[in-house]
């Protein structure tokens, strides 16, 4: 006996990836509904070897459905997620709307699976921000061993994190560089993204940080440990898919780089590719389509007493979004609903 599953926002980048991953991981689905906004009604999407036509989110009745994976913006989530939850369908939400709600668990299954039992307060579980998800997968096993005091992270985030229009903007601007008769002004971003980097993701806050940077701080504390100090600089780069992060970690105890490497090799969801030679590391291009979070460049930081540096790369549409949501669904099924 399997689950009746709804994917909300099935025509978007993350929604389509959710359908792919549900099929790839052979999630026990008895029935699946693909929902979209009215303007995308009837659009065909793939689920394994099946083709589904999208249904109207506005008129859909969630009664009798087990779980709904939401891959729409906060505004639509605010309207429809409470309706789904009230009807008895557990919502797994990819937007930022519920991440900081104390009554909603924020889950990365490799880090805090026990938090799934808190879902019942609102019948909603939150999926973390893409840049946070891959980082905490690496931090948690190291924190368990040597207790992390402080993290300094700089991100190199791909344009797919901003959606289809951003990917098209990068493509069109790149072509325009080689065809000077074309002019493709920045629309999605504040400046041209082709052959450029933009140190600005989400809106600016009063202290000069951006909302994306604030998310990494708040979410790491909620998922791993509220005592960890985090400072982040989030940068958009001209890469289509795959987020990269340079992470500096300060521990309470000394942790040797070789032991850290061994710990990460044994940790769930992580692939260590760390050879001190040309090409002995992973770049975003190589992580696309993979489930793992890749760790490279593990080395001691000699400027502080107990410090390590590492390089962290992951497919942001997968571990950063769709894969983590499906893993939460698997966890929910295994620990709570127990049907599949």
The residues annotated with a catalytic role in the active site are 130, 243
Annotated binding residue 236: yes
Query: Can you read off the two tokens belonging to residue 261?
Result: 């490497």
Query: Can you read off the two tokens belonging to residue 203?
Result: 């809106």
Annotated binding residue 11: yes
Annotated binding residue 280: no
CA angle 288, 109, 327 (to 5 degrees): 55
Q: How far is it, in rounded angstroms, from Cα 17 to Cα 13?
A: 6
User: Which three-class secondary structure state does DSSP give residue 337?
Assistant: helix
Annotated binding residue 160: yes
Annotated binding residue 25: no
Give the strand pairing for 243-251 and 270-272. unpaired
User: Which three-class secondary structure state does DSSP give residue 203?
Assistant: coil
What's phi and psi for 25, nearest 5 deg? -90, 5
CB hemisphere CA count around 140 (13 angstroms)? 25
- As a whole number of Å, the end-to-end CA separation of the chain is 6
Beta bridge partners of 293: 270, 314
DSSP string, 211-276: HHHHHHHHHHHHHT-TT-EEEEEEEE-S-SS-EEEEEEEEESS---HHHHHHHHHTSTTEEE---S
The owner of tokens 């970690």 is 249
Q: What is the DSSP letter of 210?
A: B
User: Which three-class secondary structure state does DSSP give residue 5?
Assistant: strand
Annotated binding residue 120: no
C-alpha to C-alpha distances, 339 to 61, 124, 237, nearest whole angstrom:
21, 19, 42
Annotated binding residue 37: no
Annotated binding residue 141: no
Query: Can you read off the two tokens belonging to residue 301?
Result: 């930081």
Whether 30 contacts 181, CB under 8 Å: no
Annotated binding residue 40: yes
Q: How far is it, in rounded angstroms, from Cα 63 to Cα 111?
A: 31
Annotated binding residue 39: yes
Give the annotated binding-site residues for NADP(+). 11-14, 39-40, 160-161, 180, 316
Give the annotated binding-site residues for substrate. 157, 236
Give the annotated binding-site residues. 11-14, 39-40, 99, 157, 160-161, 180, 236, 316
């Amino acid at each position: 006996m399997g689950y009746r599953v709804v994917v909300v926002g099935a025509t978007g980048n993350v929604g389509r990836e959710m359908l792919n991953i549900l099929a790839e991981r052979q999630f026990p689905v008895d029935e699946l509904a693909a929902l979209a906004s009215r303007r995308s009604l009837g659009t065909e999407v793939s689920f394994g070897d099946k083709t589904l036509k999208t249904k109207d989110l506005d008129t859909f009745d969630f009664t009798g459905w087990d779980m709904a994976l939401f891959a729409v913006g906060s505004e639509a989530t605010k309207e429809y997620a409470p309706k789904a939850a009230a009807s008895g369908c557990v919502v797994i939400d990819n937007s930022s709307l519920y991440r900081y709600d104390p009554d909603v668990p924020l889950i990365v299954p490799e880090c805090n699976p026990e938090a799934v039992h808190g879902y019942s307060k609102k019948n909603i579980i939150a999926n973390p921000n893409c840049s946070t998800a891959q980082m905490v997968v690496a931090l948690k096993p190291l924190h368990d061993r040597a207790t992390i005091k402080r993290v300094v992270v700089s991100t190199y985030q791909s344009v797919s994190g901003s959606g289809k229009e951003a990917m098209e903007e990068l493509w069109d601007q790149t072509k325009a560089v080689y065809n000077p008769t074309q002019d493709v002004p920045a629309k999605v971003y504040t400046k041209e993204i082709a052959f450029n980097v933009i140190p600005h993701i989400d809106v600016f806050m009063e202290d000069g940080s951006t909302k994306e940077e604030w998310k990494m701080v708040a979410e790491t504390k909620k998922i791993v440990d509220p005592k960890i100090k985090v400072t982040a600089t989030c940068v958009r780069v001209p890469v289509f898919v795959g987020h990269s992060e340079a992470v500096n970690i300060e521990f309470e105890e000394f942790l040797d780089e070789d032991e850290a490497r061994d710990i990460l090799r044994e940790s769930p969801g992580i692939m260590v590719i760390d050879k001190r030679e040309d090409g002995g590391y992973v770049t975003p291009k190589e992580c696309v389509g993979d489930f793992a979070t890749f760790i490279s460049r593990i080395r001691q930081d000699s400027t502080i007493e107990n410090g390590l540096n590492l390089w962290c790369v992951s497919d942001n549409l997968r571990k950063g979004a769709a894969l983590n949501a499906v893993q939460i669904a698997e966890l929910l099924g295994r620990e709570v609903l127990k049907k599949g």
